[in-house]
Chains A and B, each alone.
Chain A
Amino acid sequence: MPDERTLEVRVWRGREGGHFQTVTVPRRASQTVLDVVSWIQRHHDATLSYRFACRVGMCGSCAMTVNGKPRWTCRTHVDKVAEGDTLTVAPLANLPVVKDLVADMAPFFDKWAKARGRFVPESDAPREFHTVRPDTRERQAADAGIECIGCGVCYAACDIVRWNRDYLGPAALNRAWTLVNDVRDTGNDARLAAVAGDAGCHACHSQEGCRTHCPKQINPTASIAGLKRATTAAALKGRL
């Protein structure tokens, strides 16, 4: 006997000044939120815009706001998050809306660049290979944050990003921290200057919204705390 249960889904349409459209969707076993959004686009309204790619929890493209929280929709089971028989899906918070469920990731990556989240090699090719031992404190600190795929969930979850337009955000700062701990990198003076101040690591109040929601269990709060220590050391040495 076919499953005749239904789900009432409120899905955001339009840009910032848009509205929620309510659609009734058939409920299936092991259904994910991405399945629901795809069903709406294929069977109900072909004009719905949304992003996805791998659909197996590797790329982070499908990140959206589900019942108020930022999540990967391909890895979010409807049974776990539905409030009764209802679901609300909106684009990622703290970013401009392109259309419907698609957020503009440009500001997110602009801040990544502003935080100097880019490896800076030595100007000349080194004579010896750098020895990067996996058990050193620096490498362990870098490894703890290196798995970030730039999905934007932490950025959407962060209150400081919401209150402070210039705040670089947890992902950009986390990336900066992994590079601060990369012994091959030579760009740390400029990087520490870039991540210091009211728009940088010092604006973090350790609410841990980032850590709570990160689908890869990364802890940007800890990385940002590391940046606070590094910038403190630089400031005290007069190098900031």
Chain B
Amino acid sequence: MTARTETRLWLAQRGSAAVLALCVAVHLATLIYAVRGGLSAAEILSRTRGSAAWLGFYLLFVAAVTVHAPIGLRTVLREMTAWRGRSLDLTMLLFGVLLAALGLRAALAVFA
């Protein structure tokens, strides 16, 4: 990986962090509010079912996390273990794909 690519990865991580700052703030506020008096599927789904706004929000959230988490994990593993190079990069990419797939599935699950 060239220094140029590594810089771009770092930028993507910081950029997605900025997006996540907003998403997480909304998410934290929502769940702290929603958890009052217990949490039920009906409560969650009554908010998200058929709501284009919530779907859009969660898709943005998933996209940002898919970029942010694997890049972060890659750095942690490179520094704290002996693992580095192509195999690590590919594994982190796959982790990103997994997050995207599961996240998309989850977003659609509460929308449909």
- State the Cβ distance, B12 to closest chain A Cβ, in Å: 11
Residues 1-37 of B, flagged 1 when their CB comes within 8 A of A and 0 if not, give 1111011101100000000000000000000000000
Residues 79-95 of B, flagged 1 when their CB comes within 8 A of A and 0 if not, give 11000000000000000
Asked if B105 is an interface residue, CB under 8 A from chain A, the answer is: no
- State the Cβ distance, A145 to closest chain B Cβ, in Å: 22
Asked if A170 is an interface residue, CB under 8 A from chain B, the answer is: no
Do A235 and B1 have beta carbons less than 8 Å apart?
A: no
Do A197 and B11 have beta carbons less than 8 Å apart?
A: no
Within 8 Å CB of B6, what residues of A?
A: 196-198, 202
Contact A197/B3 with A202-B10, A232-B11 known, Cβ cut-off 8 Å? yes
Asked if A160 is an interface residue, CB under 8 A from chain B, the answer is: yes
- State the Cβ distance, B13 to closest chain A Cβ, in Å: 9
Do B79 and A160 have beta carbons less than 8 Å apart?
A: yes
Per the CB 8 Å criterion, the residue count for chain A at the interface is 17
- State the Cβ distance, B79 to closest chain A Cβ, in Å: 4
Within 8 Å CB of B75, what residues of A?
A: 203
Asked if B47 is an interface residue, CB under 8 A from chain A, the answer is: no
Asked if A240 is an interface residue, CB under 8 A from chain B, the answer is: yes
Asked if A129 is an interface residue, CB under 8 A from chain B, the answer is: no
- State the Cβ distance, A233 to closest chain B Cβ, in Å: 11
Q: In the bound complex, how far is the Cα of B78 from the Cα of A193, in angstroms?
A: 21
Q: Which of B7, B78, B79, B80 contacts A235 (CB 8 A)?
A: B7
- State the Cβ distance, B95 to closest chain A Cβ, in Å: 18
Q: Which of A160, A164, A196 contacts B7 (CB 8 A)?
A: A196
- State the Cβ distance, B35 to closest chain A Cβ, in Å: 33
**Nearest B-chain residue to A197, judged by Cβ:** B3
**Nearest A-chain residue to B13, judged by Cβ:** A202
Q: In the bound complex, how far is the Cα of B10 from the Cα of A196, in angstroms?
A: 10
Which residues of chain A from 175 to 199 have a CB within 8 Å of any chain B CB?
A: 193, 196-199
| Given A193-B3, A197-B1, A232-B7, 12 other A-B residues pairs in contact with their CB atoms under 8 A | A193-B4, A196-B6, A196-B7, A198-B1, A198-B6, A199-B3, A202-B7, A203-B75, A228-B10, A231-B7, A232-B11, A240-B3
Chain B positions within 8 Å of A, measured between CB atoms, are: 1-4, 6-8, 10-11, 75, 78-80
Chain A positions within 8 Å of B, measured between CB atoms, are: 160, 163-164, 193, 196-200, 202-203, 228, 231-232, 235-236, 240
Q: 9 interchain pairs (CB within 8 A)?
A: A160-B79, A196-B4, A196-B7, A197-B3, A197-B4, A197-B7, A199-B3, A202-B6, A232-B11
